[in-house]
C-alpha cells in the first residue's frame, strides 16, 4: 500500500550546500521522496559568448578559464585547439608535452575535488580535506608552470606560456610517487566504506541510452561501461603516444551507471593520468615551447573542436570571418548536457539520493551557465 | 576521415530527401545544408544512420560578417560578405563509427522558425532553449521553450549582432560610463 | 543508602538554618549550580576536543596553531607556548557566538522559536540530577531514575520539533520530522538494552545499578555475559542516533537539509542547541558507563575504597566514550533515512530482543562455569576487534613509510 500526502514544492538552491554552486533545483516532494526535480540555471551567466566576440583570439583564452574553474586548462586547450585548426598553426613538440602534463595534472586536481566534495555530500568530511591536501601539491606545480593557482591562461595559441623545466619535472615525479600511496588510503577511507557503498551503489542510475541521448560524456558515460574517451576515440595532440587504459565502471558494487561507479571511474582515472604523466615527464624532448605567432588572424572558416576535459567532452564551435576577433564562439560544456537530462534520471529518488546523484555527476556551475 | 564520411552521408540524404538538402561544399570542416521545414525528418534519418549523439547545437547570426565563413563556390570570385541570416548548426557524432557530421539550417532573420529536434536527441531541449534565449529562434514542437540563461523577463536577443545593451533592468542601472568619465565631469564643473 | 551524602549535607544545613525545607531548596540550588558549572566547562572542553581530534585526522593547521603570538606566562612560569595549542580559536568562537546578532525570521512563530532551544537545553540538563556520581552521592536519588532519563530525552525531541516547525523553513521542518522519527525509533532498542540491565539488577535506580558492578572489571555488566555485551553495543549505537551524531546525523545533514532544524538559528540560540548536543553526548556516555561499564567503580577492587575517586572514574569513562563519538563523526559517512530505519527496526530491535531474552535466561545460570564461559566469549570478540584495528593501523603506517 502506498500513501500519498500533499505535494511539497521546495527550492534546493541557489544557496544550498550540495548543489555545488548556484544551481537551483525545484523539487516536488512527497515526504522524503522527490517526485520531480527541475534544474533552473542561469544564476552564474557571465555572457562568455558575447564577450568572446569582442576580444582578440588570444584574449578569449582567459575567459574560457572562467567556465570550468575547477579544471581551467581543459577549457583553454579546447578553444586553442579550435583556433589553431582554423589558423593552421603548428605547435612545437615540447609545447605539446607541456600541454599534456598540465592537462593531466589538472584532471587529477579536478577529480580530487570531485572525490572530496562527493565525500562531503555523503556526510564524510575527512576525505575532502585529504583530497585538498593532495590537490595543493598539484596547484604548487601548476603555479610554478604558469604563475597562477586557479585560472592559469597557460595554453596559448601556438604553444604554451612557459616551460616545464627539469625542476618541475622532478616535482611531478615526486608527486606521482606520493599520489600512488594516497589512492589506497582513499579507498580505505571512503570507497569501500560499508555505509558509503550502501548510500551510492544502485543509486541514481544513468543508463547508457540516457547518457547518449543527453550527450553525457566523460566519466559519467564511462561509468555505464562504455569505452568512450576522446583521447583514444578521436585523438588530438600527442595522446596516441601514451599508454593508458580507458577507465570504465567496474561494477564491483552496484550496477553500471550508478553513483558508486561514477565515483570509482574518477579514482581509476587518477591512476591512468598518473601513468600518462609518468611517460610524458620521461619523454619530454628539448626544443621551443611555442611557435612564434605575432598576430593571429585565421582565414575565414568554421570549426568544431573538442577535447576530453575532466568532466567530459568540451567543445568549441568557432567561426572566423578573417578578422582579429572571432566572429562567433559557442561553447558546449559537458556539465550543461549532463544537467539537461537531470529531470529524467532523478525521478522518484529520495532527497539524500538526489544529493548522491548530483554529487556523482560532478557539475561545475561556471561551465553550465558560462 | 571526416570528409569522405560527410560525402557518403550527403549522398544518402540527397537520395532520401532530394530538394530539402542543399549543396555540398568540400572543405576541411564540411557541413550539409538542410531546408528548415525538413530538419526533423533529416535529423531522425541521421539518427537511424547511427549518429546517435548531438554534440552541439548552436545558432549563428551572420549580420556584419566581413567574409563568409562558408567557402566560396567560385574561388576566383572576390570574397564577399554572406547573406544576413540566422543559422542553426547541428554537430552530430556517432558512438559506433566515431564519425562526425554537421547539418546547417539557414533562417530568415526577422522571424527565425524551425521544427524542434528535442524529441530525437534529449540534449537538444536545453540547447534549443539557449538558442531561443540568445537569438530568438523559435523551435516548433519544443516541450517548454523559455529563456534559460537570462531572466524570464529579459528583453531582446543578446547574441544577435544588432543587439543594443539595455541601460536599465528593473531600476538597476548597468550601462557603464567610459572610464574616467567622472573626472571629466568634475573638471567641467570647475 | 546511596543518597547518604546528600542526606548528610541537607541535615547539616538544616542544623545550621534550623529550617528543613529551606535546606532542601539550598541543596537544590547548590547542586544545580555545580552541575551547570561543570557542564559549561565540559562544553568548552568538548568543543576543543572535537576541534583537536578533527585537526589530527584531517591535517588541519588551524586548531593546532591559531592563537596568540606570545607565550602565556604566569608569575614567570611558562603555561602555554606560542599559539596556545589552538586555544585561541575556542576563545574567539565563544566571543563570536556571544556577539552575533540574534535573528528571528520575519515569518517565524516567534514565541515557539525562542522557546525551543531553552526546552532542548533544559530537558537535556535535567537528566543529570539522577546520575550517581559517586558512592552515596546522587544529586536527586529517585527510585525510578532511568524513567526520568528516558522521559527527559523524549522532551528533547519535542524541543527540536518546535524549533523546526517555528522556523517557517521547509528544510527545518524536514530536519524536525526526521529527528522525531529517528529519536522515537531508536528509543525502542535503547530502552530494551537498558531494560536488560534493569532486569539483571532488579532496580530502576541508577545508584543500585552502579553498585551492582563493584569489584573487578569483569563484574561490569558489559563483561558479565554476552547478552549484556550485545546490549551495551546496541545502546552505544542507539545513543549515537539519540544525539544526532554521525553516522546518524540526518536531522542536521548539511548536504541535504542545509543545517536541519537549526538552519534559522543564530547567535546564542544556536549555541544553546550546540551546547545541548554536546551535553547530550556526555549524558548518554554517562548512562552507558553507569549501566554497562561499572559507573563510578574503577574496576580495580582495592581502588574503590577511595570514594572521592568516583566522579573522576565515571567522568573518565564517559569522556572516553565521547571521544569515540567524535572519532566516528570524522570518519564515517551518513546513513540515508530509510537505511537508518531499516537498521533500527530490522537489525537492532530483533537483536535487542534477543539480548533481552538471553539476559533473562542468564539470570538462571549463575554457576562459575557459565560465568567463565561468557567472559571467554567476550574476550574473543574484543580480541577480534583489536585485531581489525591493528590491521588498519598497520596498512596506514606502511603507506606512510612508502611516502617518506
- pLDDT per residue as tens digits for the range C329-362: 888 888 888 888 888 888 889 999 998 998 888 8
B65 and A332 within 8 Å at the Cβ level: the answer is no
Strand-strand pairing, B172-173 and C72-74: unpaired
Q: Tens of pLDDT along C254-296?
A: 777 777 788 888 888 888 888 888 888 899 999 999 888 888 8
Asked if B55 lies within 8 A of A336 by C-beta distance, the reply is: no
Residue C33 lies in a domain: no
Q: Are C165 and C109 in contact (CB under 8 A)?
A: yes
- Domain contains A1: no
d(CA A207, CA A210): 5
Pairwise CA distance, residues A49 & C275, whole Å: 51
C391 in the same domain as C255: no
Does A226 reach chain B within 8 Å, measured CB to CB?
Answer: yes
Q: For residue C112, is it within any domain?
A: yes
Number of domains in chain A: 1
pLDDT at B178: 60
Give yes or no: residues C337 and C189 share one domain.
yes
The pLDDT value recorded for residue C1 is 41
Digit-coded pLDDT (tens) for B83-138: 788 888 888 888 888 888 888 888 888 888 888 888 888 888 899 999 998 888 98
Strand B86-93 vs strand B53-61: parallel, antiparallel, or unpaired?
antiparallel
Residue A233 forms beta bridges with which residues? Answer: none
Q: Is the pLDDT of residue B1 over 50?
A: no
Would you say residue C78 lies in a domain? no
* pLDDT, position A3: 63
What does the pLDDT average to over C220-241?
86
Reported as a pLDDT band with limits 50, 70 and 90, residue C77 is confident
Cβ neighbours of A244 (radius 10 Å): 20
Best mutation target, A207, A215, A231, A297, to test chain B (most B CBs within 10 A): A215
Which pLDDT band holds residue C135 (cuts at 50, 70, 90)?
confident
Contact present, A168 and A262 (Cβ < 8 Å): no
Of A16, A130, A198, the CB nearest to C339: A198
| Domain co-membership, C273 together with C308 | yes
Q: Does C397 contact A at CB distance below 8 Å?
A: no
User: Is the pLDDT at B74 greater than 80, yes or no?
Assistant: no
B:137-166 residues touching chain A, CB 8 A cutoff: 147-151, 158-159
d(CA C348, CA C342): 9
Cβ atoms within 10 Å of A147's Cβ, excluding its own: 12
Nearest Cβ partner of B55 from A328, A332, A344? A332
DSSP 8-state assignment for residue B72:
P
Q: Tally the domains of chain C.
A: 2
Q: Are residues C189 and C291 both part of a single domain?
A: yes
Which of A120, A178, A199 is opposite residue C336, by nearest beta carbon?
A199
pLDDT at B190 over 50: no
- Quote the CA–CA distance of A40 and A38 in Å, as a whole number: 6
C277 with C388, same domain: the answer is no
> How far apart are alpha carbons B86 and B112 in whole angstroms?
7
What pLDDT score was predicted for residue B79? 64
Q: Using DSSP bridges, classify how beta strands B100-107 and B32-34 pair: parallel, antiparallel or unpaired.
A: parallel
* Per-residue pLDDT tens digits for B146-170: 888 888 888 888 888 888 777 778 8
User: Would you say residue A2 lies in a domain?
Assistant: no
CB atoms within 10 A of CB A272: 20
Helices (H), A124-193: 126-146, 166-186
Considering only the beta carbons, identify the residue of A126, A177, A351 that sits closest to C57: A126
- The alpha carbon of residue B32 and the mean position of all alpha carbons in its chain are separated, in whole angstroms, by 14
SS3 for A294? coil
Is there a domain that residue C398 lies in? yes
Contacts of A340 in chain B (CB under 8 A): 122-123, 125-127
Computed on alpha carbons and rounded to an integer, the radius of gyration of chain A in Å comes to: 21
For B115, other C-beta atoms within 10 Å of its C-beta total: 18
Residue of A51, A327, A339 to mutate for B, most B C-beta atoms under 10 A: A327
Distance CA C250, CA C257 (A): 8
What CATH code is carried by the domain that includes residue A106? Answer: 1.10.645.10
Question: What span, in angstroms and rounded, lies between the C-alpha atoms of A46 and A158?
Answer: 27
Residue C250: which domain range?
104-363
Does residue B179 surpass a pLDDT of 80? no
- Measured between beta carbons, the chain C residues lying within 8 angstroms of A351 are 174, 256-257
Q: Is residue C99 part of a domain?
A: no
Q: Please, which residues 57-96 of chain A have a Cβ atom closer than 8 Å to chain C?
A: none
In the predicted model, is pLDDT for residue C24 greater than 70? yes
Instruction: Check whether B77 has a pLDDT greater than 80.
Output: no
How many angstroms separate the CA atoms of A290 and A284, rounded?
A: 14
Looking at the structure, tell me whether residues C304 and C396 fall in a common domain.
no
Q: Does the structural domain B3-156 have CATH classification 3.30.460.80?
A: yes
Q: What is the mean pLDDT of each run of 10 residues along chain A (370 residues)?
A: 72 80 85 85 87 87 88 90 86 89 92 91 88 90 89 88 87 89 86 87 88 90 88 86 87 86 91 91 86 80 87 89 86 90 86 88 87
Contacts of B46 in chain A (CB under 8 A): none
A46 CB-contact burial (10 Å; exposed 0-12 / middle 13-18 / buried 19+) = middle
How large is the ipTM?
Answer: 0.85
A154: left (phi over 0), alpha (psi -120 to 50) or beta: alpha
Give the number of beta-carbon pairs within 8 Å between A and B.
103
Residue keyed to cell 570518519: C331
- Say yes or no: C304 and C384 in one domain: no
β-bridge mates for residue B173, sequence order: B168
* Residue C155 within a domain: yes
pLDDT above 70 covers a percentage of chain C that reads: 94
CB atoms within 10 A of CB A230: 21
- What string of DSSP letters covers C7-38? HHHHHHHHHHHT-HHHHHHHHHHHHHHHHHHH
Residue C59: inside a domain = no
What pTM does this model have?
0.86
C87 lies in a domain?
no
Mutating which of A207, A248, A302 best tests the B interface, going by the most B Cβ atoms within 10 A?
A: A302
* Cβ <8 Å between A352 and C253: yes
Q: Rounded to the nearest 5 degrees, what angle is found at the Cα of B100, between the Cα atoms of B99 and B101?
A: 130
All three cell numbers of C199, joined, read: 532486569
B119 interfacial to chain A (CB closer than 8 Å): no
Instruction: For residues C153 and C225, state if they share a domain.
Output: yes
Whether residue C367 lies within 8 A of chain A, CB to CB, comes out as: no
How far apart, in whole angstroms, are the C-alpha atoms of residue C128 and residue C38? 11
Amino acid at each position: 500500500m502506498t500513501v500519498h500526502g500533499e505535494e511539497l514544492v521546495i527550492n534546493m538552491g541557489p544557496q544550498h550546500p550540495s548543489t555545488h554552486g548556484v544551481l537551483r533545483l525545484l523539487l516536488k516532494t512527497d515526504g522524503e521522496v522527490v517526485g520531480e526535480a527541475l534544474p533552473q540555471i542561469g544564476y552564474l551567466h557571465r555572457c562568455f559568448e558575447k564577450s568572446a566576440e569582442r576580444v582578440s583570439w588570444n584574449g578569449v583564452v582567459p575567459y574560457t578559464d572562467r567556465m570550468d574553474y575547477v579544471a581551467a586548462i581543459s577549457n583553454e586547450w579546447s578553444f586553442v585547439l579550435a583556433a589553431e585548426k582554423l589558423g593552421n598553426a603548428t605547435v612545437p613538440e615540447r609545447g605539446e608535452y607541456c600541454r599534456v602534463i598540465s592537462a593531466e595534472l589538472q584532471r587529477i586536481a579536478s577529480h580530487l575535488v570531485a572525490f572530496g566534495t562527493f565525500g562531503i555530500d555523503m556526510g564524510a568530511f575527512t576525505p575532502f580535506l585529504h583530497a585538498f591536501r593532495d590537490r595543493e601539491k598539484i596547484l604548487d606545480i601548476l603555479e610554478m608552470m604558469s604563475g597562477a593557482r586557479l585560472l592559469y591562461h597557460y595554453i596559448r595559441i601556438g604553444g604554451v606560456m612557459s616551460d616545464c623545466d627539469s625542476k618541475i619535472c622532478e616535482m611531478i615525479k615526486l608527486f606521482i610517487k606520493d599520489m600512488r600511496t594516497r589512492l589506497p588510503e582513499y579507498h580505505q577511507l571512503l570507497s569501500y566504506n560499508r555505509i558509503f557503498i550502501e548510500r551510492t551503489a544502485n543509486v541514481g542510475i544513468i543508463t547508457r541510452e540516457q547518457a547518449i541521448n543527453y550527450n553525457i560524456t566523460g566519466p559519467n558515460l564511462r561509468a555505464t561501461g562504455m569505452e568512450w574517451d576522446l583521447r583514444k576515440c578521436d585523438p588530438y595532440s600527442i595522446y596516441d603516444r601514451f599508454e593508458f587504459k580507458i577507465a570504465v565502471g567496474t561494477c564491483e558494487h552496484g550496477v553500471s551507471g550508478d553513483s558508486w561507479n561514477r565515483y570509482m571511474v574518477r579514482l581509476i582515472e587518477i591512476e591512468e593520468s598518473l601513468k600518462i604523466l609518468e611517460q610524458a615527464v620521461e619523454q619530454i624532448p628539448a626544443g621551443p615551447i611555442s611557435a612564434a605567432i605575432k598576430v593571429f588572424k585565421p582565414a575565414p572558416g568554421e570549426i568544431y573542436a573538442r577535447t576530453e576535459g575532466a568532466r567530459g567532452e568540451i567543445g568549441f564551435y568557432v567561426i572566423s570571418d578573417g578578422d582579429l576577433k572571432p566572429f562567433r564562439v559557442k561553447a558546449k560544456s559537458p556539465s550543461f548536457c549532463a544537467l539537461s537530462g537531470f529531470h529524467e534520471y532523478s525521478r522518484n529518488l529520495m532527497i539524500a539520493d538526489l544529493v548522491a546523484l548530483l554529487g556523482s555527476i560532478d557539475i561545475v556551475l561556471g561551465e553550465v551557465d558560462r | 576521415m571526416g570528409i569522405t564520411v560527410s560525402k557518403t552521408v550527403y549522398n544518402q540524404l540527397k537520395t532520401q530527401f532530394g530538394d530539402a538538402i542543399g549543396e555540398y561544399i568540400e572543405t576541411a570542416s564540411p557541413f550539409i545544408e538542410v531546408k528548415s521545414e525538413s530538419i526533423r525528418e533529416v535529423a531522425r534519418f541521421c539518427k537511424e544512420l547511427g549518429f546517435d549523439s548531438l554534440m552541439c547545437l548552436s545558432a549563428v547570426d551572420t549580420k556584419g560578417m566581413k567574409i563568409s565563413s562558408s567557402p566560396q563556390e567560385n574561388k576566383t570570385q572576390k570574397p564577399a560578405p554572406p547573406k544576413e541570416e540566422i543559422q542553426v548548426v547541428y554537430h552530430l557524432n556517432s558512438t559506433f563509427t566515431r564519425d562526425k557530421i554537421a547539418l546547417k539550417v539557414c533562417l530568415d532573420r526577422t522571424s527565425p522558425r524551425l521544427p524542434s529536434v528535442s524529441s530525437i536527441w534529449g540534449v537538444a531541449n536545453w540547447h534549443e532553449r539557449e538558442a531561443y534565449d540568445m537569438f530568438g529562434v523559435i523551435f516548433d514542437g519544443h516541450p517548454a521553450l523559455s529563456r534559460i540563461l537570462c531572466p524570464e523577463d529579459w528583453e531582446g536577443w543578446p547574441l544577435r549582432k544588432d543587439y543594443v545593451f539595455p541601460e536599465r533592468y528593473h531600476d538597476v542601472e548597468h550601462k557603464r560610463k567610459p572610464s574616467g568619465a567622472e573626472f571629466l565631469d568634475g573638471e567641467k564643473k570647475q | 543508602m546511596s543518597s547518604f551524602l546528600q542526606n548528610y549535607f541537607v541535615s547539616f544545613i538544616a542544623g545550621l538554618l534550623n529550617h528543613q525545607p529551606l535546606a532542601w531548596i539550598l541543596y537544590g540550588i547548590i547542586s544545580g549550580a555545580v552541575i551547570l558549572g561543570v557542564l559549561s566547562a565540559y562544553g568548552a572542553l568538548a568543543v576543543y576536543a572535537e576541534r583537536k581530534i578533527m585537526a589530527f585526522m584531517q591535517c588541519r593547521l588551524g586548531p593546532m596553531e591559531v592563537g596568540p603570538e606570545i607565550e602565556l606566562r604566569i608569575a614567570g612560569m611558562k603555561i602555554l607556548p606560542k599559539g596556545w595549542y589552538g586555544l585561541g580559536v575556542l576563545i574567539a568562537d565563544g566571543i563570536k557566538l556571544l556577539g552575533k546578532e540574534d535573528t528571528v525570521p520575519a515569518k517565524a512563530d516567534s514565541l515557539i522559536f525562542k522557546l525551543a532551544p531553552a526546552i532542548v537545553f533544559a530537558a537535556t540538563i535535567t537528566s543529570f540530577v539522577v546520575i550517581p556520581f559517586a558512592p552515596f552521592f546522587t544529586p536527586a536519588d529517585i527510585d525510578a531514575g532511568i524513567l526520568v532519563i528516558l522521559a527527559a530525552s523524549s522532551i528533547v525531541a519535542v524541543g527540536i520539533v518546535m524549533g523546526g516547525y517555528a522556523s517557517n523553513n521547509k528544510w527545518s521542518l524536514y530536519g524536525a520530522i526526521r529527528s522525531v522519527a529517528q529519536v522515537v525509533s531508536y528509543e525502542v532498542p535503547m530502552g530494551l538494552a537498558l531494560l536488560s540491565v534493569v532486569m539483571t539488577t532488579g532496580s530502576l535506580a541508577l545508584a543500585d545499578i552502579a553498585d551492582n558492578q563493584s569489584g573487578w572489571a569483569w563484574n561490569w555488566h558489559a563483561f558479565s555475559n554476552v547478552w549484556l555485551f550485545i546490549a551495551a553495543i546496541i545502546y552505544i549505537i542507539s545513543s549515537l542516533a539519540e544525539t544526532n551524531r554521525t553516522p546518524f546525523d540526518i536531522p542536521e545533514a548539511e548536504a541535504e537539509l542545509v543545517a536541519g532544524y537549526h538552519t534559522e538559528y543564530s547567535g546564542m540560540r544556536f549555541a544553546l542547541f550546540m551546547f545541548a548536543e554536546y551535553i547530550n553526548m556526555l549524558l548518554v556516555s554517562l548512562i552507558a558507563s553507569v549501566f554497562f561499564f561499572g559507573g563510578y567503580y574503577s574496576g580495580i577492587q582495592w581502588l574503590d575504597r577511595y570514594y572521592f575517586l568516583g566522579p573522576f572514574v565515571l567522568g573518565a569513562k564517559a569522556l572516553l566514550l565521547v571521544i569515540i563519538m567524535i572519532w566516528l563523526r570524522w570518519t564515517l559517512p551518513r546513513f540515508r533515512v530509510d537505511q537508518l530505519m531499516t537498521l533500527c527496526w530490522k537489525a537492532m530491535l530483533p537483536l535487542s530482543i534477543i539480548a533481552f531474552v538471553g539476559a533473562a535466561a542468564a539470570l538462571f545460570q549463575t554457576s562459575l562455569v557459565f560465568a567463565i564461559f561468557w567472559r571467554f566469549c567476550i574476550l574473543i570478540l574484543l580480541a577480534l576487534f583489536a585485531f581489525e584495528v591493528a590491521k588498519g593501523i598497520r596498512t596506514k603506517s606502511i603507506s606512510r613509510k612508502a611516502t617518506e
